[in-house]
Amino acid sequence: MSTQTWGERVDSADWDAVAGELDEFGGALLPQLLTVDEAAGIRDLYVEDGLFRSTVDMARHRFGDGQYRYLKSPYPEPVEQLKQALYPRLLPIARDWWARLGRPTPWPDTLDEWLTQCHDAGQTKSTAIILRYGRGDWNALHRDLYGDLVFPLQVVINLNEPGVDHTGGEFLLVEQRPRAQSRGTSTQLPLGHGYVFTTRDRPVRSARGWSAAPVRHGVSAVRSGERHTLALVFHDAA
């Protein structure tokens, strides 16, 4: 069992390498942020109705197949602590990206200050999500925007063991390149590991210097078993 705090696990990442992967591919694998027992504990929360503000049936809304639930705030300790630890690590990357694109960088130094800005703008709904997929379920390509105020990076954590609890269910990124065909990547996330990726768009080199490449994400079809993930979005919803 790991004796590291959630913050220490976040800090253990090679953040220069993570920034480089994000610049090259729009996504990057993070270290194991949750132990096996912690991941199981979060999976078990899924049936606790009182912890969630909303449940979404994906097929009903043509989002794919499967189900996800928005956790109420305040979040369970692992969720809150991971968000608090990840935000200051992601912030320099976000500011650098928006500076390259000539955009203002509205994000303050702490997550609490940023969420206060979201709430003042009417984005008051919690956005941490637990997703559940069974055999044949999948998630359509999309972007988690939720309002005018958006943080350009987010993190997903796999709560199951690929190849043991499920097959298939790779995490997908599709990037629309300037004046070119779209580029796709797929990543199988190890149990408890995080994956940081582009929320909306990101800077890519172009003939004019830097252009914004829109990015969408999704999940390929689960071929067998069951897959749960924890999604951490760093802005709240309108």
On the question of pLDDT at 59 being above 70, the answer is yes
Token pair, residue 170, equals: 């790779």
Who wins on pLDDT, 1 or 52?
A: 52
- Residue 121 φ/ψ, nearest 5 degrees: -90, 5
What pTM was computed for the model? 0.96
Give the relative orientation of helices 36-44 and 77-100 as an angle to the nearest 10 degrees. Answer: 100
Quote the pLDDT of residue 177.
Answer: 80
pLDDT bucket at 178, cuts 50 / 70 / 90: confident
pLDDT in tens, 64-95: 999 999 999 999 999 999 999 999 999 999 99
- Confidence bin at 4 (pLDDT 50/70/90): confident
Strand partners, 183: 175
Tens-place pLDDT, residues 91-108: 999 999 999 999 999 999
Percent of the chain with pLDDT over 70: 99
Statement: residue 1 has pLDDT above 60 = no
User: How high is the pLDDT of residue 231?
Assistant: 98
In sequence order, what are the residues at sequence separation of 6 or more whose Cβ sits closer than 8 angstroms to the Cβ of residue 116? none
Q: Is the pLDDT of residue 28 over 90?
A: yes
3-state secondary structure of 200: coil
For residue 188, give the DSSP letter. Answer: P
Q: What pLDDT shows up at residue 183?
A: 92
Contact 17, 89 (CB under 8 A): no
Of 128, 133, 131, 130, the closest CA to residue 84 belongs to 128
Model confidence at 139, in pLDDT bands (50, 70, 90)? very high
Cis geometry, peptide bond prior to residue 104 (ω within 30 degrees of 0): no
Among residues 154, 171, 173, the alpha carbon closest in space to that of 237 is found at 154
Q: How far apart are CA 26 and CA 74, in angstroms?
A: 30
pLDDT tops 70 at residue 2: no
Query: pLDDT value at position 44?
Result: 97
Phi, psi of 231 (to 5 degrees): -110, 125
Q: Give the residues across from 157 on adjacent strands.
A: 194, 230
Q: Is the separation of the CB atoms in 130 and 199 below 8 Å?
A: no
Query: Given this model, what pLDDT does residue 188 score?
Result: 97
Residue 120 pLDDT > 70, yes or no? Answer: yes
The per-residue pLDDT for range 182-228, each reduced to its tens digit, is: 999 999 999 999 999 999 999 998 877 899 999 999 999 999 999 99
Token look-up 């408890």 returns: 192
The answer to whether 229 touches 131, Cβ cutoff 8 Å, is: yes
Q: Integer distance in angstroms from the first to the last C-alpha of the chain?
A: 39
Calpha distance 72→54 (Å, rounded): 8
What are the two backbone dihedrals, phi and then psi, of residue 5, each rounded to the nearest 5 degrees? Answer: -75, 165
Whether the CB-CB separation of 70 and 54 falls below 8 Å is answered with yes
Tell me the pLDDT tens digit for each residue of 140-162.
Answer: 999 999 999 999 999 999 999 99
